[in-house]
Amino acid sequence: MAEAGTFHDAFIDELRDTYDAEKQLTKALPKMAKAASNAKLRAAFETHLQETQGQIARLEQVFESLDEKVRGKHCDGIAGIIEEGKSVMEEDFDETTMDACLIAAGQRAEHYEMAAYGTLVAWAKAMGHDEAAGLLEEILEEEKAADEKLTDLAEGGINESAASAAHPEGEDVEEGDDDDKTKKAAKGVKRAPAKTKGARR
């Protein structure tokens, strides 16, 4: 009978999964940057690509601090998130809508990573791997900052621009149309319980 895995084994497994996730993101981020029309959004993706490359180097330091071989394990979770982002980029959206969707895709990835690094930091601290915990915490803070940057861009005009394009002021339904429809609908509701022939017989 095989020996049961330990908490340390689970930690290394999670570390390898996260290492692979970062590797996958280094291929996805340039595509997201290219698809962005907003200059600040494009710059945010390009900056985070550089950060991600630095995070990979830090993760390699974590492996070394634990005397573990640097190796990734295919991360299905981030692969699915990247695939969703890819399908969004294939849609025929207007520029601002595409930017809003790219932010959403980017934040899905950030939140996934924040959850992963939060776990890794907690587990490293629990086992007394102080050097690893410190390095992982640095990465976690970078992921949080990247997520906040995307939120700032969304709330700083991109979402509003996309919404304005979807609902231009001049395209409101003509005055009275909605009221008439509402009144007709209401009348229809009142007439709904029609006479039931023969009910009194």
* pLDDT (tens digit per residue) in 119-138: 999 999 999 999 999 999 99
Buried-exposed string 154-180: b where 16+ CB fall within 10 A, e elsewhere: beeebbebbeeeeeeeeeeeeeeeeee
State yes or no: pLDDT of 42 exceeds 90: yes
Span 67-98, pLDDT tens digits:
999 999 999 999 999 999 999 999 999 999 99
Q: How far apart are CA 60 and CA 70, in angstroms?
A: 6
The half-sphere exposure of 151 on its side-chain side, counting CA atoms within 13 A, is: 9
**pTM recorded for the entire structure:** 0.81
- In order of 133, 157, 166, 185, the CA distances from 162 in angstroms are 41, 9, 6, 32
In eight-state DSSP terms, residue 73 is: -
pLDDT tens digit sequence for 148-188:
999 999 999 999 999 998 887 755 444 444 444 444 444 44
Q: Which residues contact 101 (CB under 8 A, 6 or more apart)?
A: 88, 91, 93
